[in-house]
Structure 1
Amino acid sequence: MPLINADALVLNPREAETVSEVIFERVFNDSDLAEYHEVETGIDVKTQIAFATRLGLLGKETQGCTPNEADGFSLTQKYWEPVLEDFRLKHCQTDMPALLKLFRKSQRINPDFFDLVGSQELGVIIAAVESALVENIHRKVWFNDKTAATVANSGVFTNGTDLGYFNSFDGLFKQIFAEVPTSAANYVAIAKNAGTTYAAQVLDEDAALGIFEKMVTKADERLVSADDVFILASRSLADNYRASLRNKNLGSGFLEVVEEGRQKLYFDGIEVKVRYDWDRYIKDYQNNGTKYHLPHRAVLTTKSNIPVGTLSEEDLTKLDVFYDKTLRTNIMDAAYSIDAKHLEPYMTVAAY
């Protein structure tokens, strides 16, 4: 099967001449990982993450010659366990005769007709793969689950999903659901997630306003005072909150503003980052045909509390592109190590 299907292209009076004139379907999240996560590099298998509890009360009135003994602190640990993932895409020039016309005016003369490395044609493929790779890393970081199962097998993933794309390591939702369970003090329930139909899962008016308020109220003082605190929210919650902003005068800390040419949403002075990609992944991959699995989600935390670990950050965005003469095939390889960690539960409030 050809890597690109170009059969829909037809001859026009003037064809596109360069890669910049090809309009790609947009990805669902092309943001850098660093917008949402601290990215730890040099991470290898079983790299230790050590935690120290804080010291308690210190200092009592001196009694005699014996100093007052203070309580100590304890150490706990987690481990980075990055997995190695890879993929390969192959493209042969003869697979796609229809695409040749697209770059007729910019095609260089090449002693080897099949070698497209450095060409405009292969540039189209590389651009598409690099943007998709970023999107897929975001998906893995949040939705991966080592015990992933489809609905037919008592899981939450859409029937027919290739679970090999989801089960290499545990993503952040899997970890947060375990460490901030429904019984935890820093959990906020979203009642509509329990709806048994798509219609029954639609949020009531001002629902997000109440959910965000409960999240901030339940947050540890160390979390709400952190410099990098934010709320990550599904589009469903963000849209519901925006509707409330349009109908209410909540003050300067509750607004949507344009900063540096970009729309930003705030709740009580805390930025709300809208994760449009979450909604898409839930609809596509956690859908039983009648309802979605937890379609409304929000996480109040910090970048430093949900880091992503890798051996090299460059591996997450770069391709190895080469031509194999024996196969007359242009090959794009990617390999990277990756893991994600939810570090300290008290630095998170989860709504789901």
Structure 2
Amino acid sequence: MANFNFDNVTLSPKEVQELSTAIFETAFANPELTKIHNIVEGIDMKSQILLLSSMAMQGLSADGTCDPQDSDAGIVATQKYWENNQIEVRIPYCAKDLPELLKAFGTKSNKYDVEGSEEIKMVATRLLEALDEAILRLAWFGDKAAANIVSGGTISNGTNVAYFKGVDGIWKQIFAGVTAGDIKRATITSNAGANYTAQELSAGEALTAMRKVYNQSDSRLKNHKDGIFIVTQSVYDNFLDKLEDAGLSAVGQLAMNDGVMTYRGKQIIVADFMDRNITSYQDNGTKYNLPNRIVFTTPANIPVGTLDSGEFKELAVWYDKTARKVYTENIFSLDAKVLEGYFISVAY
């Protein structure tokens, strides 16, 4: 006979009683905003951006007389505008949202006023991570005319399009610039695949696309010290596969520059937030919307505008006695611009 018999006893695992012992999903590590964008502050209202062209051709042949020949400067001015787009986030929290055993504030006389508690600190921490995602999503995929696929748009059916309507983002401007002939585009063949599998890049396709993007770009961009490649994770992985297939010898040595992956001397920045947004929110159930993308430009040519970049990390937290809830809130202004078409080259 066994020493102990627990057949008549219900054994339950010990329940987590503190949020500090919970294991949270790891947040994605996004590239720093300032690595891919210049930040322009002070945008408190619709503001003009003045763009001036180069001077017209100069250098007329002298005619040998006393009458000089005048030339026109031919500088053409164009304009764009910063928009003071307001974005808001408010998270209401009631003390009853968590089970009793998870409440570290159980001895407080007012069990609804949990301002400063462990769970509110957790909410604030996760909200800051979510804001990082939101800023990149809006700056790149924002579209004030966003619509679900069923309505003729590109946003997955069932997704709230209001999360995309705050800003007309970089991709919307790129698509418009390509259509107008102002931005050069190379085609990534796999994007036209009829299903997810067919949209996977073929061997070496990323390198071929990056070569096209570089070769078609304006010489002023090729020779600019701040030129960068911003690529989806899918493109980067395919590029690395090509380097490995080449034995990481000659091609690999050319790609590594002081420990930073480069192509033709230009840093490659992996924008895996693009992959997440495309696969999560631009999926028609059969295939994704252009899942493989490349942008070659400079941070100064795709600036992000705001009243104050400090707004991105400022949280207001307060307890409302009437609602018996603690609110965590952030309000910030945001806009993004593609300034000069000749200073950007893309593939998708």
In structure 2, the residue matched to 1:320 is 316
Matched, 1:28 2:31: no
In structure 1, the residue matched to 2:71 is 70
Quick one: distance in 2 between partners of 1:31 and 1:216? Answer: 22
Structure 1 residue 226, shift from structure 2 partner:
1.6
Structure 1 residue 253, shift from structure 2 partner:
5.8
1:69-118 deviations in whole A, cap 9, x for unaligned?
Answer: 222211110001121121211112233234535x4xxx596554332222
In structure 1, the residue matched to 2:202 is 204
1:109-160 deviations in whole A, cap 9, x for unaligned?
Answer: 6554332222222111110111111111111111111221211112211111
In structure 2, the residue matched to 1:80 is 82
* TM-score using structure 1 length: 0.87
Alignment match of 2:14 (pick from 4, 11, 14): 11
Quick one: distance in 1 between partners of 2:112 and 2:133? Answer: 30
**1:156 to 1:77, Cα distance in 2 relative to 1, 3 A:** same
Note the residue ranges of structure 1 that are not aligned, 5 or more in a row.
1-8
Quick one: distance in 2 between partners of 1:129 and 1:121? Answer: 12
Structure 1 residue 34, shift from structure 2 partner:
1.1
Larger Rg over CA atoms: 2
Structure 1 residue 346, shift from structure 2 partner:
0.3
**1:184 to 1:59, Cα distance in 2 relative to 1, 3 A:** closer
**1:31 to 1:158, Cα distance in 2 relative to 1, 3 A:** same
Alignment match of 1:168 (pick from 157, 161, 166): 166
1:167-210 deviations in whole A, cap 9, x for unaligned?
Answer: 22211000001112396672111111111111221211100111
Quick one: distance in 1 between partners of 2:183 and 2:326? Answer: 55
In structure 1, the residue matched to 2:272 is 276
Matched, 1:115 2:116: no
**1:256 to 1:276, Cα distance in 2 relative to 1, 3 A:** farther
Quick one: distance in 2 between partners of 1:83 and 1:35? Answer: 22
* TM-score using structure 2 length: 0.88
In structure 1, the residue matched to 2:330 is 334
Bigger mean CA offset, 25-34 vs 71-80: 25-34
In structure 2, the residue matched to 1:6 is none
How many matched pairs?
A: 333
1:255-304 deviations in whole A, cap 9, x for unaligned?
Answer: 35774xxxx32111111111111111111111111111101101000100
Structure 1 residue 16, shift from structure 2 partner:
7.3
SS of match in other structure, 2:179:
coil
In structure 2, the residue matched to 1:3 is none
In structure 1, the residue matched to 2:3 is none
SS of match in other structure, 2:231:
strand
- Could you say what the CA RMSD is over the residues aligned between the two structures, in angstroms? 2.3
1:283-334 deviations in whole A, cap 9, x for unaligned?
Answer: 1111111111101101000100001111111112221111122332111111
Please tell me whether the aligned partners of residues 206 and 240 of structure 1 are also in contact (alpha carbons under 8 angstroms): yes
1:48-84 deviations in whole A, cap 9, x for unaligned?
Answer: 0000011133333443233222222111100011211
Quick one: distance in 2 between partners of 1:187 and 1:44? Answer: 34
**1:35 to 1:23, Cα distance in 2 relative to 1, 3 A:** farther
Q: Which amino acid aligns with 2:67?
A: T
Identity %: 36
Quick one: distance in 2 between partners of 1:223 and 1:34? Answer: 19
In structure 1, the residue matched to 2:60 is 60
Please tell me whether the aligned partners of residues 145 and 169 of structure 1 are also in contact (alpha carbons under 8 angstroms): yes
Please tell me whether the aligned partners of residues 253 and 266 of structure 1 are also in contact (alpha carbons under 8 angstroms): no
Alignment match of 2:298 (pick from 279, 290, 302): 302
Alignment match of 1:181 (pick from 179, 185, 196): 179
In structure 2, the residue matched to 1:131 is 129
